[in-house]
């Protein structure tokens, strides 16, 4: 049985005061919920305060990026062992914003995934196509290429200690959600790519959907058989919305 997961990606939002208010409300709203796993991936500087807010709750925390290097002269970078110092359970790797705005290739993303796992942190590997790629019919090829880079470097079994998030780039922050069937089709495809190599890993793999998941569309997405939860951007910044999305996962 795959465990369900709802993770918030705060991106570059928040401050000490608003984070505390947001988390207090989310902790309260999710108190006692054990049917799924919950997490928030926060900006680096807030890891200590987020950890202290969440450590006695049912909500895990993580980061949004990690260096592929263990240590060294990499000004401005953060290593996986540093994230470990703050007990991050998850780290997002390969978010489309990192791929597009910071030039992260699938190889770099694969190296980051490996670095996270070496430190015992669960990578949330984002994959997804742009609108142009979808319209030109290459969605599956793009996603397979993004997955293959990771499998080549870390092996297919590594996915037993990872989460995949399918995030169509055209649905991120646009208010345009993939239909439940569109998302389900890509999730099935992802599982089939993995299944050709290792059917057990494919069966157990947690695949989240991300891209304009809101309180009013979460339930119809989460009911699909291959959607195991969500990676939530904008709506994770509003406590009542994030809690409602988490509750949609339980129902
Ligand atoms: P939105 O939910 O704001 O569309 O963002 C999705 C996302 O990028 C999560 O990583």
- For a mutational test of ligand 1's pocket, the pick from 175, 207, 213, 236, i.e. the residue with the most ligand atoms closer than 8 A to its C-beta, is 213
- Report d(CA 88, CA 165) in Å as an integer: 18
CATH code of the region 5-250: 3.20.20.70
Domain limits, the chain:
5-250
Q: DSSP 3-state helix, strand, coil percentages of the chain (rounded to 5)?
A: 50, 15, 35
pTM: 0.98
Q: Can you say whether the dihedral through the CA atoms of 71, 84, 143, 175 is positive or negative?
A: negative
- For a mutational test of ligand 1's pocket, the pick from 99, 127, 129, 172, i.e. the residue with the most ligand atoms closer than 8 A to its C-beta, is 172
pLDDT digit string, tens, across residues 145-189: 999 999 999 999 999 999 999 999 999 988 888 999 999 999 999
One digit per residue, the tens of pLDDT, for the chain of length 251 reads 899 999 999 999 999 999 999 999 999 999 999 889 999 999 999 999 999 999 999 999 999 999 999 999 999 999 999 999 999 999 999 999 999 999 999 999 999 999 999 999 999 999 999 999 999 999 999 999 999 999 999 999 999 999 999 999 999 988 888 999 999 999 999 999 999 999 999 999 999 999 999 999 999 999 999 999 999 999 999 999 999 999 999 76
Tell me the CA–centroid distance for residue 139 and ligand 1, in Å.
19
**pLDDT value of position 251:** 64
Structure token pair of residue 235: 């709506």
């Amino acid at each position: 049985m795959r465990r369900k997961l709802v993770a918030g990606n705060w991106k570059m939002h928040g401050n000490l005061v608003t984070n505390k208010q947001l988390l207090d409300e989310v902790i309260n709203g999710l108190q006692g919920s054990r049917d799924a796993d919950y997490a928030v991936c926060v900006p680096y500087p807030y890891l200590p305060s987020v950890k202290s807010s969440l450590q006695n709750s049912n909500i895990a925390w993580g980061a949004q990026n990690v260096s592929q290097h263990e240590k060294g002269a990499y000004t401005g970078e953060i290593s996986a062992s540093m994230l470990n110092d703050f007990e991050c359970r998850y780290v997002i790797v390969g978010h489309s914003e990192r791929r597009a705005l910071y030039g992260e290739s699938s190889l770099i993303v694969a190296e980051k995934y490996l670095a996270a796992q070496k430190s015992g942190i669960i990578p949330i590997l984002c994959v997804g196509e742009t609108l142009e790629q979808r319209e030109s019919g290459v969605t599956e090829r793009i996603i397979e290429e993004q997955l293959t880079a990771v499998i080549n470097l870390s092996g297919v079994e590594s996915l037993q200690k990872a989460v995949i998030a399918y995030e169509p780039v055209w649905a991120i922050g646009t208010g345009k959600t993939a239909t439940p069937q569109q998302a389900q089709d890509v999730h099935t495809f992802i599982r089939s790519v993995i299944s050709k190599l290792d059917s057990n890993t494919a069966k157990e793999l947690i695949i989240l959907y991300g891209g304009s998941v809101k309180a009013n569309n979460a339930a119809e997405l989460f009911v699909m058989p291959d959607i195991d939860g969500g990676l939530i951007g904008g709506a994770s910044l509003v406590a009542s919305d994030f809690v409602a999305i988490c509750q949609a996962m339980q129902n």
